[in-house]
Amino acid sequence: MNATKQNPDKGCLFLLAGISLCSLGIGIGTWLDCPYIKNLGIMMGGFVGSFVGSNYINIKKKKTPAWQWVVFFILILIMTALLTVFLESNGRK
């Protein structure tokens, strides 16, 4: 059984750091009453988890290219902005 070289310890630390930063973003967004920062912290939690799973814990040889992660990150920023606008416009009625 020929497994690819993995480093789950590094992935675990990266995941913990990412979730900590997301929690910090949610806290700052709540404290400053900035819904975009709060929503971005929520959305980035899933992004960090999928990034770590693909790059550090994945046992198959096919990895997601770096350019796709950049596209995913930009899409998350856009989706978060749209979600924030939608939720804020519904809250003002």
10-residue averages of pLDDT along the chain (93 residues)? 57 88 94 93 90 78 84 94 89 62
Question: For residue 6, what pLDDT is reported?
Answer: 57
Residue 27, pLDDT score? 95
| Single-letter amino acid code for the residue at 33 | D
Token pair for 55: 């790059």
The type of residue at 82 is: L
DSSP line for 32-72: TT-HHHHHHHHHHHHHHHHHHIIIII--SS----HHHHHHH
What pLDDT does residue 1 have? Answer: 44
Buried b (16+ CB within 10 A) or exposed e, 44-58: bbebbeebbebbbee
Q: What is the predicted pLDDT for the residue at 8?
A: 61
